[in-house]
Chains A and B, each alone.
Chain A
Amino acid sequence: MSGEQLLLLLPIILVTATTVLTMLMVAAKRSHAVSCAITALGLTLSLLSLFIVIPLAPQEVTPLLRVDGFSLFFTSLILLSGLAITLFSYPYLSNLEDHQDEFYLLLTIAVLGALVMVSSTHFVTAFLGMETLSVSLYGMIAYPLHRRETAQYPMEASIKYLVLSAVSSGFFLFGVALLYAQTGTLHFSSIASALAGMEGSVPPAYYVVATLLIITGFAFKLSLVPFHLWTPDVYEGAPLPATAFLATVGKLAMAALLMRFISVSGVLSSESIVHVLSIMAVFSIIAGNLLALLQSNLKRLLSYSSIAHMGYLLIALLTLNALDGNLGAEAVSFYLVAYVLMSLGAFGVMMAVSDSAQERDHIGHYQGLFWRNPWLALVFTAMLLSLAGIPLTAGFIGKFYIFAAGVQGAQWGLLFAMIIGSAIGLFYYLRIIYRMLTPLEEYEPMPEAGLKELLPHCVLFVLLCALIVFGVYPNGLMSLLETVVATL
């Protein structure tokens, strides 16, 4: 490995160094503020190091990793989300009756896993990244364990996630093994060529089964129907920063990996795989939205809505190889950016009014928020409208992109499912907004701990600006994405 190749891994190395440094600091002297600062600084440095890396890309760094525009784009997105969650976590965790430092440790390790995933073009690194991410997530989900009165939910959520994540890894590995037996390679790009070498135009059933097993592994992590059952419980049981991390970085890394796998290995050339993915998309959209309909716990509601959003994403993923140009890949990337922005914003508002002593995740907590705290209500409304895909927000452009990709790929059935899903979705997003508009006679006081901190509000401001800028003038992001997905 040459020095230049080492330089290409700089973001990953810096995040690793942050982990080590945090651990050493904890050993020397515990301080919540210092741990948070080191984490934030490390992630920022890693982000800045991208300026060094970008001129050198694209390159293969060993057969295991590939640093190109695509991986760097998602690296920056993951680092930014990690940074935002770090900043949100600080006030949230500050009244935890336990040590806070290890949470940041777990967070950086999880970011590390996600970074490896988006750069991998090989099943070994893909699996390694996935497991690094998941294992740290078990810890993050179960973090407020020593608080007696609330400990049961994080524990339950963590065990649930552990079991199902392990099962999905099992499916994934089995699929990889079958594929290896068939093609003799673990590299994404050689799968396509190995298959092309085989006789006959129809891919053998063996290969289809193997790919479907791999996709099952992905579907578990992306919580697509019918592998979604863990999602609401885990979202609800986990502390808010962990939920936000799972919903943004977790989904982001997984979706980026799936996108690279699909576009490099060319699995969509098989009819049956397309069928299975289409059915999953339709069911995710309909079931996710229907189940979210009457939830009064916002974490559960957002978890079901995330199932639906992953279904929308799948529509664009299905058009990846079918189109002239890269419209499908652009649509997926744009939608992911929008999705991360609005999820972070929605969870961010909840974190701003919650702390580890009490989570305000019930819809009733937000009643009359418009007249109590207009600023937070404005941000929340913008995020919800974006999730619903209303203009002036990034969510609208994202939906527009998916529609465009779907029309170009002639996915009429899926698009109608999306229209129906969006209609149902509107209902529950508007329900929250309506509750925020309805005044209450008497307000339960909001916690001081969450509101007095300026940090989360600054992050929310940045998120809101990004949401509206990408919604009104998406040009810059679009041309960036055009160059990014061209390297895929």
Chain B
Amino acid sequence: MILLWLILILFLGGALAWVSEALDARMPRIVALLSLLVSLALILWLWSAGGADVRTPGGTWWILDSWVWIPRFGIALTVGVDGLSLLMLGLTVFLGLMALGAAWHEISKRTGFFYFNLLWTLAGVVGVFVALDLFLFFFFWEVMLIPMYLIIAIWGHENRAYAAMKFFLFTQVSGLLLLLAILCLAYFHFAQFGRFSFDYFALQNVVLEGRFQMWVMLGFFIGFATKLPAFPLHSWLPDAHSQAPTAGSVLLAGVLLKTGAYGLIRFTVPLFPEASATFAPVAMSIAAIGILYCAKLAFAQNDIKRLIAYTSVSHMGFVLLGIYAWNVYGLQGAVMTMLAHGLSSAALFMIAGGIQHRFHSRDMDKISGLWSQLPALSAMALFFSIAAVGMPGLGNFIGEFLSLLGAFQANRTITAISALGLIFAAVYSLWVIQKMFHGPYTIPERVGQTAIPEDLSRVEMLCYSLMALGLVWMGVYPQSFLDLSAPVLGELLQAIGALDGELTSATINGGALR
């Protein structure tokens, strides 16, 4: 029941925020803050209550609830939480708070409707992370799109109509492929067991023949890879990110992209182990291409938000690499990268948004030498850029290192090529720092030259500090996160075995990380 409450609080909070605008323009953000804090409290409570399994002895499901919804198709409201879901939920709500912080001063028009959309997006994402009925999963998968579309289309920047439309079309079309694949699976359950079912556990029993399994798996893969996004389905992301308001970018980069990776870990590989094994080299190659190609593209940008967007695609490549390595290091690396990248990219987008808010421009050619005027902002930018590069001691390093370690066992050539991405990352990050924050102080001409823009506000400072703290925690003591996901990943590995047969026992038992 608690999971349903978690979703409902966000839905209701959103509706309440919209209505409360009638009282005062500042009310919506307070309502949003309260509902997010309540959600965070619920998640922390779940985390501390922890542990005992409810489904099978020795299993990993902490909570599993089910209610009948549409019996005609065997659809139920099945929601559950295990360590992996809980990590994602924590990330979602935490970044929801950060997005709220980013919007706090930036959004001044139609605040009620904005916070409505913000909370409904988050509700959709929370739903995605807890749904264990594939119909319900798809339902939430789509529910988060409309509010996100509205956030980009209403509060976005100059080219928002195009960006919002592109975002929606890409995700919706890949979503329809996903729906088709889900229905195929449900139908084969019907053919083999005599009734429709969308239940995650029931569908794992469906036997699909080789080629058909590959097709259905591809439907799932395309659906998730578009969201991730993986090369060559990534082209919506730079547009959506650069045009979205800061809070929208934070949600997109921090949370929405992670739903794709989560879908791959939770659904694609466990439901189609054989097809995934065949497909793994292709997926890893896609990841490697994405890492290098998007790093190169990032270097070619002069729009700071587009640059960060391309680096996002590049970093998400490590997630894909880790997942399809399918051993304990790779998966743990993927999960850690998801968490760390969620924080670092969200922070970088907030910095870019802060710069845009102060100078009304995102053009790196026109802005330089910010360090002399805005030391706090610049220091934060340096910190998070270095985190994104993968500096040891910060979360991203742990994630990418583990991903590469796992991938190395699965495919050495691809791993070696992918590792070059780390060098590129250092190049473009330092280039940005050098270009924007060092050198003589110049700002776009439209902005009054005499007025010195304000440095970080208290709300901004609080947000950046929290995220920096999170990254340091992940970097210095990652065990607290690894412990949560280890049992889940371990069980997945045990149930399916490694995608590459030879390494099975070594990777499962030899996992020092468990």
Contact = CB atoms under 8 A, between A and B. Distances in A.
A385 B177 CA distance: 18
A392 interface: yes
Contact of A430 (B71, B149, B190): B149
Contacts of B186: 404
Contact of B143 (A392, A415, A422, A430): A392
Given A422-B176, A423-B172, A482-B72, A434 B153 contact: yes
Interface stretch (A169-177, A272-280, A471-479): A471-479
A473 B69 CA distance: 7
B12 interface: no
Given A407-B187, A408-B187, A426-B172, A475 B72 contact: yes
B180 A430 contact: no
A427 interface: yes
A403 B69 CA distance: 19
B173 A407 contact: no
B184 A407 contact: yes
Interface in B129-156: 135, 138-139, 142-143, 145-146, 149-150, 153-154
Interface stretch (B162-170, B346-354, B381-389): B162-170
Nearest to B176: A419
A283 interface: no
A391 B172 CA distance: 11
Contacts of B142: 390-391, 396
A397 to B, nearest CB: 8
B70 A475 contact: yes
Count chain A CB atoms within 10 A of each CB in B72, B73, B138, B173 and give the residue with the most: B72
B208 interface: no
A482 B180 CA distance: 23
Contact of B180 (A392, A403, A408, A473): A403
Contacts of A437: 150, 153-154
B183 interface: yes
Interface in B55-81: 69-73
B146 A426 contact: no
A429 to B, nearest CB: 10
Contacts of B161: 434
Contacts of B184: 407
Contact of B173 (A423, A434, A473, A482): A423
A422 B164 CA distance: 17
A427 B165 contact: yes
B183 A430 contact: no
B149 to A, nearest CB: 7
Interface string A363-405: 0000000000000000000000100001110001000100110
Nearest to A371: B110
Nearest to A425: B172
A404 B153 contact: no
Nearest to B173: A423
B183 A419 contact: no
Contact of A423 (B176, B183, B190): B176
A479 B186 CA distance: 19
A80 B164 CA distance: 37
A109 to B, nearest CB: 37
A464 B112 CA distance: 22
A419 B173 contact: yes
Contact of A385 (B73, B146, B169, B183): B146
Contact of A391 (B72, B143, B153): B143
Contacts of B183: 400, 403-404, 407
B465 to A, nearest CB: 36
Nearest to B145: A390
A404 B187 contact: yes
A419 B146 contact: no
Contacts of A419: 173, 176-177, 180
Interface string B453-481: 00000000000000000000000000000
Contacts of A427: 165, 169
Contact of A479 (B72, B139, B169, B176): B72
A422 B135 CA distance: 19
Interface residues of A, number: 26
Contacts of A385: 146
A83 B282 CA distance: 58
Given A407-B180, A407-B184, A419-B177, A478 B70 contact: yes
Contact of B165 (A396, A407, A430, A482): A430
A396 B176 CA distance: 11
B380 interface: no
Given A434-B153, A434-B164, A475-B71, A426 B143 contact: no
Interface in A426-460: 426-427, 430-431, 434, 437
Contact of B73 (A390, A404, A422): A404
B179 interface: yes
Interface in B174-196: 176-177, 179-180, 183-184, 186-187, 190, 196
Contacts of B146: 385, 390
Contacts of B72: 475, 478-479, 482
A60 to B, nearest CB: 30
Contacts of A396: 142
B387 to A, nearest CB: 36
Interface in B35-49: none
B165 A400 contact: no
B320 to A, nearest CB: 24
A419 B172 CA distance: 10
B168 A430 contact: yes
A434 B165 contact: yes
Contact of A400 (B164, B179, B190): B179
A390 B139 CA distance: 9
B185 to A, nearest CB: 10
Given A403-B179, A437-B154, A423 B169 contact: yes
Given A403-B183, A415-B180, A474 B70 contact: yes
A478 B184 CA distance: 20
A118 to B, nearest CB: 24
A403 B178 CA distance: 12
B144 to A, nearest CB: 10
Contacts of B69: 473, 475
B386 to A, nearest CB: 39
Nearest to B143: A391
Contacts of A478: 70, 72
A422 B179 CA distance: 13
B169 A426 contact: yes
Nearest to B71: A475
A431 B153 CA distance: 11
A391 B180 contact: no
A391 B176 CA distance: 12
Contacts of B138: 391
B155 to A, nearest CB: 10
Nearest to B139: A391
Interface in A207-222: none
Contacts of B150: 437
A415 B180 CA distance: 8
Contacts of B177: 419
Contacts of A400: 135, 179, 183
B329 to A, nearest CB: 37
B241 to A, nearest CB: 19
Nearest to A389: B176
Interface in A408-430: 408, 415, 419, 422-423, 426-427, 430
Interface of B: 69-73, 135, 138-139, 142-143, 145-146, 149-150, 153-154, 161, 164-165, 168-169, 172-173, 176-177, 179-180, 183-184, 186-187, 190, 196
Given A400-B183, A434-B165, A474-B70, 9 more contacts: A392-B143, A404-B73, A407-B183, A419-B177, A423-B176, A434-B153, A434-B161, A473-B69, A478-B72
10 contacts: A403-B180, A404-B196, A419-B177, A422-B172, A422-B176, A423-B169, A426-B172, A426-B173, A430-B164, A437-B154
Closest 8 CB pairs of A and B: A423-B173, A391-B142, A478-B72, A419-B176, A407-B183, A407-B187, A391-B139, A403-B183
